[in-house]
Amino acid sequence: MGRSLRAALAAVVLTLALVATTTAFAAPVPWKTIDVGLQAEQNDGVMRVWCELATSTPLPAQVEISVPAGSVPLWVGEVQGDWTSESPQSTYTTTTANGADIYRFTLRSSRTAHLYAEAPPLQADGASGFAASLAWVAGQDMAQVSLGAWVPANARITKAASGAILHTEDAEFSYYEKIVSNVKAGQKLDLKFSFLVPAAAAAATGTPPKNSNTLILFIIITLCVACLVIGAVALKTNRSGSPAEDPDDDDGDAPQQVESDDAADGPDADAPAPARSPRPTRRLLITAGLLAVFVLAATLVGLQVMKPAVAGDTISQVFAGGEPCATLVIGVGAPDGSDPVATATRLFAALKPVSGINDASFSIKASRLEVGYCESKTSEAQIRAALAPLGFRLSTPAASPSAETTGS
Domain range summary for the chain, segments of one domain joined by +:
33-202, 213-241+277-306, 309-398
Q: How far, in Å, CA of 298 to CA of 320, rounded? A: 17
* CB 106, CB 59: distance < 8 Å: no
How far from 160 is each of 144, 168, 193, 336, CA to CA, in Å? 20, 16, 5, 19
Q: How far, in Å, CA of 29 to CA of 189, rounded? A: 22
Question: What percentage of residues in the chain have a pLDDT greater than 90?
Answer: 27
- pLDDT tier at 294, thresholds 50, 70, 90: low
Residue 67: the pLDDT is: 94
- pLDDT tier at 92, thresholds 50, 70, 90: very high
Q: What are the tens digits of pLDDT across the range 99-128? A: 999 999 999 988 999 999 999 888 888 766
Residue 7: the pLDDT is: 59
User: Does position 390 have pLDDT exceeding 70, yes or no?
Assistant: yes
Per-residue b or e along 51-76, where b marks 16 or more CB atoms closer than 10 Å to that residue's CB: bbbeeeeeeebebbbbbbeebebbbb
Residue 247: the pLDDT is: 46
Q: How far, in Å, CA of 305 to CA of 317, rounded? A: 7
Highest mean pLDDT among 137-146, 206-215, 240-249, 321-330: 137-146
Q: How far, in Å, CA of 397 to CA of 404, rounded? A: 19
For domain 309-398, say whether CATH 3.30.70.100 is its number.
Answer: yes
Residue 70: the pLDDT is: 93
More confident residue, 85 or 207: 85
Gyration radius from the chain CA atoms = 35
Number of Cα atoms under 13 Å in the Cβ half of residue 366? 13
Question: What residues have CB less than 8 Å from 240, skipping those under 6 apart?
Answer: none
Of 281-295, 332-346, 389-403, least confident by mean pLDDT is 389-403
Secondary structure class of 369 (helix, strand, coil): strand
Query: What is the bridge-based pairing of β-strands 93-97 and 404-405?
Result: parallel
Residue 37: the pLDDT is: 94
Q: CATH number for 33-202: choose from 1.10.3470, 3.30.250, 1.20.950, 2.60.40.
A: 2.60.40
Q: How far, in Å, CA of 287 to CA of 303, rounded? A: 24
Of 102-111, 259-268, 397-406, least confident by mean pLDDT is 397-406
Q: What are the tens digits of pLDDT across the range 321-377? A: 778 888 888 888 776 666 777 888 888 888 888 888 989 998 887 788 999 998 888
pTM score of the predicted model: 0.50
Q: What are the tens digits of pLDDT across the range 10-53? A: 555 555 554 444 444 568 999 999 999 998 877 778 899 999 99
Helices and strands (DSSP H and E) totals, the chain? 7, 21
